[in-house]
Amino acid sequence: MRILLAGASGTIGTALVRQLEKNHEVTRLVRRAPKGAGEIRWDPARGELDVAAVEQADAVINLSGAGIAGGLWTRSYKETLYASRIMPTRTLVQAMRRAAHPPEVFISQSASGYYGDRGDDVLTEDSSSGETLLADICRRWEAEALGAPSSVRVVLPRTGIVMAKEGGALPNLLVPIRAFIGTSLGSGRQWWPWISLNDEIRAIEFLLTADLSGPVNLSAPTPATLDTIALQLGKAFHRPVWLRAPSFILKAAIGQLGYELLLVSTRMQPRALIASGFSFDEPTPEALAAWVRRNVGSTQ
Write the DSSP string, 116-185.
Answer: ---TT-EE-TTSPP-SSHHHHHHHHHHHHHTTS-TTSEEEEEEE-EEEBTTBSHHHHHHHHHHTT-EEEE
Distance of CA 204 to the CA centre of its chain: 10
Measured CA to CA, the distance from residue 239 to residue 195 in angstroms comes to: 22
With contact defined as beta carbons under 8 Å apart, do 196 and 220 qualify?
yes
3-state secondary structure of 234: helix
**Cβ neighbours of residue 238 closer than 8 Å, sequence gap 6 or more:** none
With contact defined as beta carbons under 8 Å apart, do 103 and 149 qualify?
no
**Cβ neighbours of residue 149 closer than 8 Å, sequence gap 6 or more:** 96, 97, 102
User: Between the CA of residue 8 and those of 4, 11, 150, 254, what are the distances in Å?
Assistant: 10, 8, 26, 28
**Cβ neighbours of residue 213 closer than 8 Å, sequence gap 6 or more:** 153, 154, 155
Measured CA to CA, the distance from residue 280 to residue 13 in angstroms comes to: 19
Please state the φ and ψ torsions of residue 233, each to the nearest 5 degrees: -65, -40
Class at the top of the CATH hierarchy for domain 2-296? alpha beta
pLDDT of residue 128: 98
User: Between the CA of residue 222 and those of 116, 274, 287, what are the distances in Å?
Assistant: 19, 12, 10
Strand partners, 161: 194
User: What are the pLDDT tens digits along the chain (300 aa)?
Assistant: 999 999 999 999 999 999 999 999 999 999 999 999 899 999 999 999 999 999 999 999 999 999 988 888 999 999 999 999 999 999 999 999 999 999 999 999 999 999 999 999 999 999 999 999 999 999 999 999 999 999 999 999 999 999 998 888 898 888 888 888 888 888 989 999 999 999 999 999 999 999 999 999 999 999 999 999 999 999 999 998 988 888 888 887 778 888 888 899 999 999 999 999 999 999 999 999 999 998 886 544
Measured CA to CA, the distance from residue 5 to residue 47 in angstroms comes to: 16
Dihedral, 35, 37, 38, 43 alpha carbons, nearest 10: 60
3-state secondary structure of 40: strand
pLDDT of residue 297: 66
Measured CA to CA, the distance from residue 10 to residue 268 in angstroms comes to: 24
**How do 224-225 and 191-192 pair as beta strands?**
antiparallel
Residue by residue, DSSP assigns 56-112 as T-SEEEE-----TTSS---HHHHHHHHHHHHHHHHHHHHHHHH-SS--SEEEE-EEG
